[in-house]
A and B are shown apart, each in its own frame.
Chain A
Amino acid sequence: MMQYLVILLDDTSVSYCHADNPYSVRRLIGLNDLRAGILFAMKQNLMIQFVYPDYELPQEYLDLIDTIDHHDIKPWYAGASPADVTVFDKSVLAGVSPVNQGVAVLRLTKAELFENVEAIGKILLKMQRLNIVVTDIETITDEELKSYAAVLEGLASVLKDEYLAGRMPQLNLLTDRMMLDRPNHCNAGVENITLAPNGRYYLCPAFYYSNPDDSIDPQDIRNQQLLRLDHAPLCRHCDAYQCRRCIWLNRKTTLEVNTPSREQCIVAHTEREASRQLMAAIREQAVFMPEVEIKELNYNDPFEVRKEW
């Protein structure tokens, strides 16, 4: 069931997910398109998530945005007003010290992630929740996967100490799998769609970024069933619940929205295993979520065991 409408307020609105925003020239969404998007959300009973650029919007936009309940997703920059979700990039690793934030997204490349575990650990301590998005994860090699596992191990060590001290910061890569008892997929095209600054609708911002002609009719999404979990032959059997099951990455890497690449699966299973080990490490010293069990698996890619299902 559709629940959210993401509205990109400007072509330079911050990317909060895998795909980089290729636009560098400011272009605000037209006021009429914004008004129509808000009206659409009201009539469809959708919660709006406004995605902001790194500059202050004109007052008429702010007034219009204020006409409806919504969430704000904003880039972090000096002087930025508070947001429901704040998006950071690698500059936060270079000594910029964000104040205590609620929910934050940290977008990094693999290399930036591998080289900055300690700094990320410190940032994690300042947040209620940190979502790390690795922007080039689809190219991860088997060798890099070992580095990724080492990063998770390092961050798990930070989290273990926090949890044993009674604090419970959330890190999507490690704590989601412990907390979830069902998949927490992005569900673009099923639970959310995106209105772009050109006034057209897309399955998610990434589809707009990669091809503006790839728009959809929000009232009639073609082959929408293929976006659902029950039409994803690999994912519907998978219990790496923290995986976002990004349909844009799926299509980019396998040409099908319902099929993940090997890289996505092995990354998700590395996170799942790190979560399992974190849980075990905490349990060595305290009673912790005794009702939850994460089983040990003998594979890293569900594709390898598809014939057993």
Chain B
Amino acid sequence: MSIVRETDTGWQSGMAKSITFIVTKDCQLACKYCYLVGKNVKERMSWETAKAFIDYVLSREDEFREESVVWDFIGGEPFLEIELIDKICDYLKLRMFELNHHWFNSYRFSFSTNGINYHTPDVQAFIKKNREHLSIGITIDGTEKKHDLNRVWKQAKADENGIIHPSERGSYKDVVRNIPLWLEQFPNAGTKVTISSADIPYITESVLHLYSLGIHQVNINVVFEDVWQEGDDLRFEEQLMTLADEIIEHGYYRDYACSFFSEHIGKPMDPERDNQNWCGAGKMLAVDAAGNLYPCTRFAQYSLRSKKALIIGNIRDGINYNLLRPFLTLDRTTQSPQKCLDCEVASGCAWCQGENYDAAQTSTIYERSTAICLMHKARVRANNYYWNKLFRKLELEGRREEYENNKRDVKPEIC
């Protein structure tokens, strides 16, 4: 098969509307760090719901004025519903054409998959059919040991409520076999790695392992949830410094990127000039199997531990725009505690609006969770070490200017 066009997850960033179909809440895996606490085998989207949602969105061009659209498919594992997805995408293309919609020829289909079904005929046929408008990210966490620490198969049977639970069987081998095919089709694709407390000792070897698989872009982040143990920040810093040494010593910085290291992070932020929200919740739109609409998938009930789902409408009655006003007026300073506003290394410290909502003392999206505070500071220290060491090396080799002209620019990944 021919190489699929460049897949840039930041495609039309800022100008594109992200619209997500939660096609299923089922998954082959039951990853231990997964924020989807309510995954189940029951809630699968019907064609009727998907079609009604598409008709709702495409008939309201005046409400959805963004230049472009990313039709995102998420689960659970979206490729479990490849037949439905194929039908959805065909219908989207047909209707955008028939309506002469401004999104026709300015759209992408985007997937985050566990990669297990990537090689199957149905998925491959879908890729072939839609290759000009496709972004696919496969999640692989690193070495077999690191990957299998969290990314395990679910138990064969769900519980009496349909909720799925983890088994002991890791999924590394089932995913890694599809990486060569994926990279052949999407050579510039990146993977997304998630770090929880137990993963810290494996960060360095995992990133290097992903590089060795041919993955040039490793997007990596620590979980936003409050899972961190005392001393994790120091262990994290140590791992990142080891990783920095490896990347610099072996010259990986020339052709590979790891999002942990960025020149843009670790600076103070101006309360007025740098006051934008980090998260895109509210600018996005998600729909689930019941036809309920959300400002982001993270506000669906299966994503929430302790709060009620934040539903902003449904496919029959449409969006209640009053419920979007808090999202669209959110700024950094209003939701941040004073320690964040005073922080000397604030830039690049991320948050997830859904996790903020879930962790808040009251039912609000305006209380920023600071569970990652120490981890961010550790990252900044290691990041400073990385750049100081790299730049000194380049200076001594007389190649600083050459590097600056050719470097891969890794910007903080904004949700």
Contact = CB atoms under 8 A, between A and B. Distances in A.
Chain A, interface size: which category? 10 to 19
Interface in A95-149: none
Contact of B366 (A222, A231, A253, A303): A231
Given A231-B334, A233-B331, A256-B366, A223 B325 contact: no
A226 B366 contact: yes
Nearest to B321: A262
B74 to A, nearest CB: 23
Contact of A254 (B323, B360, B361): B323
B362 interface: yes
Interface in A214-246: 222-223, 226, 231, 233-234
A261 B325 CA distance: 8
B217 to A, nearest CB: 32
Task: Choose among A231, A255, A303 the residue with the greatest number of B CB atoms under 10 Å from its CB.
Answer: A255
B325 A254 contact: yes
Chain B, interface size: which category? 10 to 19
A303 B364 contact: no
A295 interface: no
Q: What is the interface of chain B mostly: helix, strand, loop, or mixed?
A: loop
B329 A223 contact: no
A43 interface: no
B325 A259 contact: yes
Given A231-B334, A233-B330, A303-B329, A262 B322 contact: yes
Interface string B312-356: 000000000111011011110010000000000000000000000
Contacts of A259: 325-326, 329
Interface in A66-99: none
Contacts of B23: none
B366 A254 contact: no
A233 B323 contact: no
Given A255-B310, A306-B329, A223 B360 contact: yes
B322 A261 contact: yes
A258 interface: yes
A233 B325 CA distance: 10
Contact of A233 (B329, B360, B361, B362): B329
Contacts of A231: 334, 366
Interface in B255-290: none
Given A234-B325, A234-B329, A259-B325, 18 more contacts: A223-B361, A223-B362, A223-B367, A226-B362, A233-B329, A233-B330, A233-B334, A255-B310, A256-B326, A256-B366, A261-B322, A262-B321, A262-B322, A262-B325, A263-B322, A303-B325, A306-B328, A306-B329
Interface of A: 222-223, 226, 231, 233-234, 253-263, 303, 306
